[in-house]
Amino acid sequence: MIAQVRPLRGDSAAASLRHLWGVVLPRHYTGRGERQGALARPLERASRLIPASRLVTVLTRDAVAEARQDLAAVPGLQRCLEPASRGTAPEIFLAALSVLQQDPHAVVAALPVEHLAEHGHRLMQYVARAAAAAALRPELPIIVGAYPGSRDPEYAWLEPGDPVEGLEAFTVRTVRRIVAQPSPAQRANGLLGMLAMVTTAQTLIALGRRHLPDVLECLEPLEDVVGGPEATLLCDAVWESMPRASLCGDLLAHVPHLGVVSMPDAMTGERGAGAYGPDTEALAS
C-alpha cells in the first residue's frame, strides 16, 4: 500500500510543489489553555513539504498574541489576522488573496490544524499528490479524504465516485455528493471525511465569487492591501459586515465538480519523520 503513494516524479510534480502554498486553519486553537506546542507541531509537519515562507496561518488577533511562542518556532511563517472568526470560508479567502499577490500561479492547500496534528506526515504526502493533480486540472478542487474523518461540522463528509479521466495516475475520483452531518450508519457505508482541500488560488477565488458573493464582496477592499500595514484598520471595518460561512457546507457543497484522493484506513495515524521519502523532500526544496 505504501508503494501506491510514492512521491510522483517528473517536471510537473516538481512544478506543482514549487507553487504549493499551505493555509493552516487552526479552528480549535484559541491560545487560551492550550498546551505549548499545540500549534507549533502541526506547522512544523506542514513545513516538511511546504517551506515556511509559503505557509500562511489564519488567527484572530486575540489568539495570535497567545500563540506567539508557537508561531516563533516556525521562522518565516506568514500570518493573516482576522478580528474575529467568521468560519473557514472567509479565512481561506483572506489567505488566498494574500497568496495571489505573491504568486499568481499558486496552488493552495487548506490544512485544518487538527488534521495536521492527527495525521501528520501522511496527510502531507497525499497533499503533494493532490497538488500534482491540481496542476494538471486547475479548475478542479481536490479533497484529501479518509475514514475516520473529522468531528468538526465545518468539515464535511463525501461519497467518492468514478475515477477522474486523465488523473488516474493520481488516484483521483469524482465526488458524488457531500453530506454535511452524516449519521454513524452513513459514515460506515463508505463516506470519506475531508482532511484537506487543494486547488489553485485563482480557482478558489473564482468559486467564491460564484457561490459566496457576499463574502467576496466584503473582501474586495482588502484585495490590493491584504498583508500590508493599512490592512488592519480596513479589516476591522470589513469584518463588521462579514457573514459567517464554512468552506465545506457553504462553498464546496455547491461546487458541481470535485475530485477526491483517498487516504486509506491503514495509513491513518502517525508514521514519524521521513514519511515523504527523499524524493518528495527534494521536490519541495
In a domain, 185, yes or no: yes
Higher pLDDT residue, 64 or 256?
Answer: 256
Residue with cell 508557537: 70
Would you state the pLDDT for residue 76?
92
Is the pLDDT assigned to residue 7 strictly greater than 70? no
In a domain, 105, yes or no: yes
**Lowest pLDDT segment from 200-214, 236-250, 260-274:** 260-274
Helices (H), the chain: 11-18, 40-46, 61-66, 68-72, 88-102, 113-136, 184-188, 201-211, 213-219, 231-239, 278-284
Mean pLDDT of 54-68: 88
Is the pLDDT assigned to residue 251 strictly greater than 90? yes
Would you state the pLDDT for residue 37?
61
pTM given for the model? 0.84
Mean pLDDT of 241-265: 92
* Closest by CA position to 194, among listed 150, 152, 164: 150
Query: d(Cα 42, Cα 113) in Å, to the nearest integer?
Result: 6
SS3 227: coil
In a domain, 274, yes or no: no
Residues 25-52: pLDDT tens digits?
876 554 444 555 678 889 999 999 999 9
**Residue 149's pLDDT band (boundaries 50, 70, 90)?**
low
Mean pLDDT of 79-104: 93
Would you state the pLDDT for residue 227?
66
In a domain, 58, yes or no: yes
> How many angstroms separate the Cα of 46 from the Cα of each of 35, 163, 201, 281?
19, 28, 18, 12
CATH of the domain at 8: 3.90.550.10
In a domain, 178, yes or no: yes
Is the pLDDT assigned to residue 216 strictly greater than 90? yes
Residues 182-194: pLDDT tens digits?
777 777 777 888 9
Count of domains observed in the chain: 1
Q: What is the extent of the structural domain holding 184?
A: 2-269
Is the pLDDT assigned to residue 273 strictly greater than 50? no
Would you state the pLDDT for residue 284?
38
In a domain, 222, yes or no: yes
Would you state the pLDDT for residue 156?
79
In a domain, 285, yes or no: no
Would you state the pLDDT for residue 205?
97
> How many angstroms separate the Cα of 84 from the Cα of each of 60, 64, 241?
5, 12, 12
Residues 107-144: pLDDT tens digits?
999 999 888 888 888 899 999 999 999 999 999 999 99
In a domain, 281, yes or no: no
Average pLDDT, the chain: 82
> How many angstroms separate the Cα of 120 from the Cα of each of 19, 41, 182, 220, 252?
21, 9, 25, 34, 24
Is the pLDDT assigned to residue 152 strictly greater than 80? no
Q: What is the dihedral of CA 172, 177, 181, 183, to 10 degrees?
A: -90
Q: Which residues contact 192 (CB under 8 A, 6 or more apart)?
A: 143, 145, 146, 147, 149, 157, 158, 159, 160, 260, 262
Query: d(Cα 106, Cα 87) in Å, to the nearest integer?
Result: 23
pLDDT > 70 fraction of the chain, expressed in percent and rounded: 80
Is the pLDDT assigned to residue 204 strictly greater than 50? yes
